[in-house]
Structure 1
Amino acid sequence: MDPEYFRSDMCWGTLGTVRPHSNFHPDRDVWELQTALEKKDCGTIVRILTNRNNAQRQVLVKTFEELTQKDLGSEVKRALSGEVEALMLELLMPPLHFEAYRLQMAMAGVGTDEETLLEILCTRTSSELKEIDEVYKKMFKKDLEKELRSETSGDFAKLVVALLNTLVATLNGKKCDATPWIDILTSRDPEHLQKVLDEVEFQTGLFLDEAFDKRFSGDLRLGLKVLVQCIQNPDLYLAKRINIMKAPQTQRVMVSHCEQDLLCIRAAFLKLTGKSLYSTLQRHFKGDLLTALLNICRSED
């Protein structure tokens, strides 16, 4: 791990694990990267790219092209392969592009990865989602809302795209109406929603997970449960996603949150599993991919 990380005082107030490199010299990094790419020296490529924050990586992309007349992403593709190649390419994407890419990947091919869609839609603010929507249109020349509608159906589609009205009565009847849940859960701020959800549990005598299991099914049940988890404890929900311990899911959640709140997710992971994320990664991954993930995670808890 880069010792400069621990000497940096630039970003210690944040809840991210990846911070600006305090001794950042893009020209020097570019020449070191170029040599490493020619030699297929994965260790050096991983060390540099995981020890710079995203803004610095964007400077490296630009500087690399200016000094070598080559595209850094294309050179990484030529030099590396497999999961570590995918991780390095993901680190080179600007954050909004990465989230748009994740949404597109979740809808690509046969079958839709509903939980990845939900993860992004439920853990990002409305302003972030608006920006992601704009970037998605530019990247894929498609309307994100139309894509979501075409890849999902029924009440789940309404939930993924939605806003509607009222609560407790819907869980007490035999037939449950999804409409008010979709409305309230997608149109109120988290602090207000937490009070509403506490009151619903008190009045029904059911934990919401139990209530959703009894009253809903399929993708809608998954969607409502994920949304409530993200309202009640988003760090715990993301810790559960990471705990799947399979690339690319684990690495994509880590990349997505490493500059914002991965320290909080690490703490939730420790509480959830009784083990640190740093140690758990060492039991499930190996080689250069492990080194990269440990650099993103940063330290033992």
Structure 2
Amino acid sequence: MGNSHVSAQYHVHFSEEEDAKKIRKACKGTGTDEMTIIKVLASNSIEQRQKIKEKYRALYGKNLEKVLQDDLSGNLQNTLLAMLDRPCDFDAKLLNKAMKGTGTDEDILIELLCTRANSQIIATKEAYKQMFTCDLVNDVQSDTSGTLRNLLVSLLEADRDEGLKVNEDLAEQDAKKLFEAGENCWGTDELTFNTILTKRSSLQLRATFKAYETLHGSSIEEVIKREASGDVKKAYLTIVQCTKDCQAYFAEALHEAMEGVGTREDTLIRILVSRSEVDLLSIKESYQEMYKKSLADEIKSETSGYFQKALLALVK
């Protein structure tokens, strides 16, 4: 969903060997040169960073992740390690962590599975299997229950229609089905909601939501807020928001992570790293529009030190 790829301006004269040597020099001796590491990683694309990792291992017989783990700490370490991951590996690790041990972090499952395109979900399932030698679908099934489980498993099938054609008749039929399944029935018929929300294309869903409002006089969000609760409500709303405007959804999530007391650094890292080569440019524009200040300025006022510099390097 919402994956217009905007490639940022990266090094034209890219040399993985030069960059590997720069990082090596920044980590050797007394004291670490954090700024150099940030600059090298932030000025390269995800693909180029994979090459730097390989070259580092070839040159020094060491795993670059391990080196950064030993030399850095806290949020800066988390940010730079996240930048070294391929997106599917990063998502796989986050999903695994959300389900490990006692208790499940449903918010992470909802954010990652409700906002990703089919190809991203397929790649993440493969990465998950390679890293943790278990099946992502099975893990999600055993860690969630009820409607939420059914919804997430449906999303993991990664068979959402991604076509660009809108069928107005279908939109009207779906709008009626949603009405029959929601407002018009005692207890919501979640199967209908799940099927429509996880299988239809973004454009088709937008037409359906419009038809719903025309036919029944209330927005799909209002209906979901009335009919669903807890994590299911959150998941439905995430899909609806992402369908309507994925960049606004992430702008709002970033804003919430910095609002009030204490900044949720892991949310900032997660969104800025995972959207950096997808739609971060548009997210910045949405942020500016929605909150009348730039994302960079907000990051400056809510974070500090090298962690701040790393996030700003991503946002720039």
Inter-partner Cα distance in structure 2 for 1:143 and 1:272:
39
Indicate which of 6, 31, 34 corresponds to 1:15.
Answer: 6
Indicate which of 100, 109, 114 corresponds to 2:92.
Answer: 100
Inter-partner Cα distance in structure 2 for 1:201 and 1:106:
36
What is the deviation of 1:173? 3.0
Q: How does 1:72-151 map to 2 (within 5 A)?
A: 72-151=64-143
Alpha carbons of structure 1 residues 95 and 175: separation in structure 2 relative to 1, 3 Å: closer
Deviates more, 1:31-40 or 1:277-286: 31-40
Deviates more, 1:280-289 or 1:240-249: 240-249
Structure-1 residue corresponding to 2:160 = none
- 1:274 to 2:265 alignment: no
- 1:159 to 2:151 alignment: yes
Indicate which of 204, 209, 221 corresponds to 1:192.
Answer: 204
Inter-partner Cα distance in structure 2 for 1:270 and 1:107:
34
Residues 103-139 of structure 1: CA distance to partner in whole angstroms, max 9, x if unpaired?
Answer: 1122223332222212221222112211211111111
Contact 1:103/1:117, CA 8 A, preserved across alignment:
yes
What is the deviation of 1:192? 0.8
What is the deviation of 1:208? 2.0
| Matched pairs, number | 284
Contact 2:79/2:269, CA 8 A, preserved across alignment:
yes
What is the deviation of 1:203? 2.1
Structure-1 residue corresponding to 2:56 = 64
Q: How does 1:146-295 map to 2 (within 5 A)?
A: 146-162=138-154, 166-170=177-181, 171-243=183-255, 244-245=257-258, 246-295=264-313
Residues 239-292 of structure 1: CA distance to partner in whole angstroms, max 9, x if unpaired?
Answer: 112121321111111100101210011111112211110111001111101111
Inter-partner Cα distance in structure 2 for 1:108 and 1:241:
24
Contact 2:114/2:235, CA 8 A, preserved across alignment:
no
Alpha carbons of structure 1 residues 271 and 16: separation in structure 2 relative to 1, 3 Å: farther
In structure 1, list runs of 5 or more residues that go unmatched. Answer: 1-12
Contact 1:36/1:44, CA 8 A, preserved across alignment:
yes
Q: 3-state DSSP class of the match of 1:248?
A: helix
Inter-partner Cα distance in structure 2 for 1:236 and 1:196:
20
Contact 1:174/1:215, CA 8 A, preserved across alignment:
no
TM-score of the superposed pair, with normalisation by structure 1: 0.90
TM-score of the superposed pair, with normalisation by structure 2: 0.86
Inter-partner Cα distance in structure 1 for 2:106 and 2:287:
22
Q: Which 4+ runs in 1 deviate beyond 6 A? A: none
In structure 2, list runs of 5 or more residues that go unmatched. Answer: 156-173, 259-263
Contact 2:209/2:219, CA 8 A, preserved across alignment:
no
Structure-2 residue corresponding to 1:33 = 23
Contact 2:115/2:238, CA 8 A, preserved across alignment:
no
